[in-house]
Amino acid sequence: MPAIRNNDIRFAAGRRSRLCVLCAPGVLAAALLVSCGAAQPRAVTVTTQAFRFQPSALEWQAGQTIRFTLRNPDGVEHDFVVDALRVTAASGDGHAQHGPGAGPAPSPGSLHVHAAAFSEASATFTPQSKGTYTVYCSIPSHKELGMVASLVVK
Closest distance of CB 139 from Cu ion, Å: 4
Residue 114 contacts Cu ion per CB under 5 A? no
Residue 46 contacts Cu ion per CB under 5 A? no
Residue 135 contacts Cu ion per CB under 5 A? no
Tell me the per-residue interface mask from 78 to 107 with Cu ion, x by CB under 5 A, - otherwise: x-----------------------------
- What region, left, alpha or beta, does residue 37 occupy, with left being phi > 0 and alpha being psi -120 to 50 degrees? beta
Residue 137 contacts Cu ion per CB under 5 A? yes
Q: Angle 6-16/25-33 helices, nearest 10 degrees? A: 150
H/E element, 10: helix 6-16
Closest distance of CB 53 from Cu ion, Å: 9
Q: Which of 139, 149, 151, 153 binds Cu ion (CB under 5 A)?
A: 139
CA distances, 12 to each of 18, 41, 122, 138 (Å): 10, 15, 25, 39
**Residues at the contact surface with Cu ion, assessed by CB under 5 A:** 78, 137, 139, 142, 147
